[in-house]
Amino acid sequence: HAKDGGGNRFEFYSELSNAVTLERLALEMDLRYALDRGELMVYYQPKVDLRSGDMVGSEALLRWRHPVHGLVAPDQFIPIAEETGLIVAIGEWVLRTVCRQIRRWCDQGRRFSVAINLSARQFRERELAAVISAALADEGLAPELLELEITESIVMHNAEQAAVILSGLKEQGLSVSIDDFGTGYSSLNYLKRFPVDALKIDRSFVRDIATDNDDARIVAAVVALAHSLGLRVIAEGVETAEQGEFLLSEGCDQAQGYFYGRPVPAEELFKT
């Protein structure tokens, strides 16, 4: 090793980035088998109606139980799945798993919707509408029971193509929400043009609403904007009673967050 500090630093960084790359590569290889090995799981987080306090739906969130690393967060492997194209198979597995679960709940007399997250790659899959309608048909489910969540950047990436895809999904009776609203490439124009049903206010705006005036005003404005366009509003990341009360007072429709319930396996969703 050279005594020169700069040289050492360079070596340190390049070793570090090699290690990161190797780790990523290993994760990518493991992900290829995760589906077949049954390591993927779907957790469900309650969506609550702010006025009544009732659970009116849930969001399906993917979990990976890695044999060595334990529970790997979606933010760590969804991007890999997206880049490698594995997301298409994984996404279809999530869709099928969720539809089976909705069927089970329906059979128990619990009729409520589940939202699934769509990645950019899935959203652009030519077969998306057909894959979704086949999954619903196989379980004999009404399309209202399945909601789709997509981010602003997915929509804005190719607005014209997105408008066509969204119209097709809408015609099938599916409802679509804009996820993480306010964090992406926000264009108020697309809200008017695109047939979406709901906005999900990103949790970064919700976190400080009780203490930060700017955040409080942004949230209030988003609620007003959404309602004036005939859209439902869902607040993400609600962790305290104060946040929930503020959202209710601003007329926000629904909320999701640790305050109401963390994402849990299907069997635990109704245990309270």
- List phi, psi (to 5°) of 234: -125, 130
Q: For residue 46, which of 267, 191, 260, 250 has the smallest C-alpha distance? A: 260
Regarding 117 and contact with Mg ion (CB under 5 A), the answer is yes
The only residue of 34, 55, 62, 269 in contact with ligand C2E, by rule CB under 6 A:
62
Q: Among residues 30 and 179, whose Cβ is nearest to Mg ion?
A: 179
Q: Which of residues 173-202 bind Mg ion (CB under 5 A)?
A: 179-180
One-letter-per-residue 3-state SS of 70-95: EEECHHHHHHHHHHHCHHHHHHHHHH
Query: Where are the strands (E) in the chain, listed by range?
Result: 40-49, 55-66, 70-72, 113-117, 146-151, 175-181, 198-201, 232-235, 254-255, 264-265
Cα within 13 Å of Cα(53), Cβ side: 3
The only residue of 58, 97, 101, 117 in contact with ligand C2E, by rule CB under 6 A:
117
61 binds, among ligand C2E, Mg ion, none (CB under 5 to 8 A by kind): ligand C2E
Closest contact distance (angstroms) between CB of 74 and Mg ion is: 9
Regarding 74 and contact with ligand C2E (CB under 6 A), the answer is yes
The only residue of 57, 143, 244, 257 in contact with ligand C2E, by rule CB under 6 A:
257
Regarding 263 and contact with ligand C2E (CB under 6 A), the answer is yes
Alpha helices in 142-251 (DSSP H): 152-157, 159-171, 188-193, 203-206, 213-228, 241-249
* Residue indicated by tokens 């979990």: 63
Q: Which of residues 130-149 bind ligand C2E (CB under 6 A)?
A: 149
Regarding 97 and contact with ligand C2E (CB under 6 A), the answer is no
One-letter-per-residue 3-state SS of 160-172: HHHHHHHHHHHHC
Q: Which of residues 202-241 bind ligand C2E (CB under 6 A)?
A: 203, 236-239
- List phi, psi (to 5°) of 221: -65, -40
Closest contact distance (angstroms) between CB of 180 and ligand C2E is: 5
Closest contact distance (angstroms) between CB of 203 and ligand C2E is: 6
**Number of chain residues interacting with Mg ion (CB under 5 A):** 5
Q: For residue 260, which of 7, 3, 78, 44 has the smallest C-alpha distance? A: 44
62 binds, among ligand C2E, Mg ion, none (CB under 5 to 8 A by kind): ligand C2E
Residues that bind Mg ion (CB under 5 A): 117, 149, 179-180, 236
Residues that bind ligand C2E (CB under 6 A): 45, 61-62, 73-75, 78, 91, 94, 116-119, 149, 179-180, 203, 236-239, 256-258, 263
